[in-house]
Structure 1
């Protein structure tokens, strides 16, 4: 068997669906199974991904998400997604797990019948599946936050085992809230915790008997609506002041951004103003994470709903939707290189139901050493990141308190919102007006 045939191909799909709920009428094949030229990385294997991770943000109207009415939407999406990928790749897929918190949701699929029929696809080798969630909204509510999935993949022919961790996030919005997005990331790493690492996989983690963070894994995929924007470059207060003789690139006007966004060379210039790339270079977020070349596709936000390529003039176009990844074999000294081969990274312009464009990536993981009886190494949690004020130690008790408070507020706010929505015949503002009017009428009646 060719060594490449033993590599796992992972597809990541992310879409902020703008609270569309059941409305997903467009053809999913463009997003879930996009057309691409077979690269040299896939020359000796089927292009059908072994694992497909689909993440949604703003899955359904917020008031319905707050009260937990997401099961029907998830079931509907599951049928659509599985039908699309099975029909395109002509092989069966299994829903490994789904997890949702308010409007942030993720579904993980695994191929059930690969080229080696004796092995039956990776779905037969997945075990110890675990899900987690965390809220990052006001008082830890779930309008912003993350959901996570971790599972163990058994090796072929008693080969090395691996841990896979997927994290789908929706961070704080608006260009001015950069520091809040960085705080969201820190909160996610500290509180999106999984059970302790299995003994067979303990290699590097010194705290294997405690809860583990998203970094205590073999492969990590961190994606979603990260909400980072294009803004003028400003030196971080935690980094050295740059050479004053070196002028920072001037921030272009909105018209210049829209023009540059239409060409590859223009987008390469725009990337210099990307908040996420600059924050990662300064060590303020995404310790160890890598990303493909976002300049390959236009900014994914904010589009006029119903249009293929027209941006909303009230917002600066930005790459808010991103897919980051890393593996235990990545060298920290070369942050721009990864053992994971990025076969495809693109957005799908044909989707017009949302002000975001969905994105997708195909990632070919490094081959496992089938001759080694040991498991693959794991990444340690960066206990103290750069700069040193970002402490990423796991905080289990904070996680429990935040989940209890956030979920309680979700249910209360959702119940009140739904009541106002009903009283207003589908308009919460009108419902609030009707309640206020009724209260004033009652008080007037009591005074008579």
Structure 2
């Protein structure tokens, strides 16, 4: 199916994934590094900025949600300004910022937990919308994901991905989110068809960004590995300790090649150092070329946990039409921030504003593109499972809040004093 266009308009898209370490970010530090992943020279900000955030806040705040998360969103909002869409699912969140918010139409959202009892300590949150107007527009789907941790849990990560594909079901929002940090509240949802609700919608681009947690070993390091094996800056490419040798053991590439995860998705070549796990040591905010040492945590293999993948242009688009493009410009890791043991990862795209048509009958029959034949069917019970998990999140969230925070301790103490005081007042009145 050909698309005949000339001189197609495009959108400059910038995606950043960042594991926040359950801490409030340093606004100035984050802002100083935010756009360093753009292809220089940066003459103006990107048209769209998408932040995929994991471990956004402590469980007590993340599971309760609502106003408890406003301070965490607000710091990112202060660093970027003018948010177009903000959503969270437990500890994973997505924020979309646009230079021209009116270009965003038909917003849809989705969320699924894949942690314990399907709660959102691990999981995915998605936002889908049309960017542009009329014939100069295209549909974009962004998914922020956080999969199971630990070196040995590669099969669990694959299962998490399967559960995300089955349970991340997009539904239309009744209105576009407001340009405020408090717009993270859930809104009423409308039902749409299973095909259009899938993460692999046939007419949409798809970008996956997050802490996917795939490691470079299936076992924890030995006590001497951090000295003998862990990579360091300025090592020669021929050295067995060079990052390229470590990347050959990357679980994500192996599992993708075997068809067990991130089905059909592409990753731009990885040229940056491992993004996890760092000790919190100076210097922070320093580019790799200025570092003499990477301070690795000794008990975890340095790994490329934080990744961004995408679907290529579908095969039913005219491959000879030079106007239809999805071009990755730069894929890199930003310097270490002072509040987390992960490094943020960014990618810059130029995406043509041309609608992706539905596949024709021939493509429906022969195409292997996951937009046509997704690797897993949608779980028909996704809504009831999410509602049940949300109830558990509130129970766990409030329990953690009362048990682990100063504010919660004060409320518990005040409640206890009030109950005891009330008991003695009633007792005194009954004795009169």
Structure 2 distance, partners of 1:186, 1:289, is 14
Residues 257-277 of structure 1: CA deviation (Å, up to 9, x unaligned)? 423665473222222100001
Contact 1:218/1:328 (8 A) holds in 2: no
Contact 1:70/1:102 (8 A) holds in 2: no
Of 182-191 and 17-26, more deviation after overlay is shown by 17-26
Q: Which residue of 2 aligns with 1:289?
A: 265
Task: Go from structure 1 to structure 2 and tell me whether the alpha carbon gap of 1:24 and 1:282 turns closer, same or farther (over 3 Å shift).
Answer: same
Q: Which residue of 1 aligns with 2:362?
A: none
Contact 1:224/1:322 (8 A) holds in 2: yes
Q: Which residue of 1 aligns with 2:281?
A: 306
Secondary structure, aligned partner of 1:396:
coil
- Superposed CA RMSD: 3.3
Shift of 1:190: 0.8
Contact 2:37/2:333 (8 A) holds in 1: no
Which structure 1 residue ranges, 5 or more long, are not aligned? 83-93, 113-122, 197-206, 234-251, 386-391, 432-448
Structure 2 distance, partners of 1:4, 1:48, is 22
Structure 1 distance, partners of 2:171, 2:38, is 38
Q: Which residue of 2 aligns with 1:106?
A: 94
Task: Go from structure 1 to structure 2 and tell me whether the alpha carbon gap of 1:345 and 1:330 turns closer, same or farther (over 3 Å shift).
Answer: farther
Q: Which residue of 2 aligns with 1:128?
A: 106
Q: Which residue of 2 aligns with 1:183?
A: 159
Secondary structure, aligned partner of 2:97:
strand
Task: Go from structure 1 to structure 2 and tell me whether the alpha carbon gap of 1:319 and 1:4 turns closer, same or farther (over 3 Å shift).
Answer: farther
Which structure 2 residue ranges, 5 or more long, are not aligned? 173-191, 284-293, 360-368, 414-432
May I ask how many residue pairs the two structures share in their alignment?
Answer: 354
Contact 2:38/2:347 (8 A) holds in 1: no
Larger relative contact order (Cα-Cα within 8 Å, sequence gap ≥ 6):
2
Task: Go from structure 1 to structure 2 and tell me whether the alpha carbon gap of 1:261 and 1:289 turns closer, same or farther (over 3 Å shift).
Answer: farther
Shift of 1:25: 4.7
Task: Go from structure 1 to structure 2 and tell me whether the alpha carbon gap of 1:172 and 1:226 turns closer, same or farther (over 3 Å shift).
Answer: same
Q: Which residue of 2 aligns with 1:219?
A: 205
- Answering whether residue 123 of structure 2 is matched by residue 145 of structure 1, we say yes
Q: Say which of 357, 376, 380 aligns to 1:396.
A: 380
Q: How does 1:193-212 map to 2 (within 5 A)?
A: 193-195=169-171, 212=197
Q: Which residue of 2 aligns with 1:445?
A: none
TM-score (norm 2): 0.73
Residues 195-249 of structure 1: CA deviation (Å, up to 9, x unaligned)? 49xxxxxxxxxx956552111042111011000100269xxxxxxxxxxxxxxxx
Contact 1:218/1:377 (8 A) holds in 2: no
Structure 2 distance, partners of 1:177, 1:48, is 39
Task: Go from structure 1 to structure 2 and tell me whether the alpha carbon gap of 1:424 and 1:212 turns closer, same or farther (over 3 Å shift).
Answer: closer
TM-score (norm 1): 0.71
Structure 1 distance, partners of 2:342, 2:62, is 19
Q: Which residue of 2 aligns with 1:28?
A: 31
- Answering whether residue 300 of structure 2 is matched by residue 315 of structure 1, we say yes
Q: Which residue of 1 aligns with 2:252?
A: 276
- Answering whether residue 302 of structure 2 is matched by residue 324 of structure 1, we say no
Structure 2 distance, partners of 1:423, 1:361, is 39
Shift of 1:368: 4.5
Structure 1 distance, partners of 2:193, 2:401, is 44
- Answering whether residue 8 of structure 2 is matched by residue 9 of structure 1, we say no
Q: How does 1:395-434 map to 2 (within 5 A)?
A: 395-397=379-381, 399-422=382-405
Residues 356-393 of structure 1: CA deviation (Å, up to 9, x unaligned)? 0111110122x346xxxx754576546463xxxxxx11
Q: Which residue of 2 aligns with 1:358?
A: 344
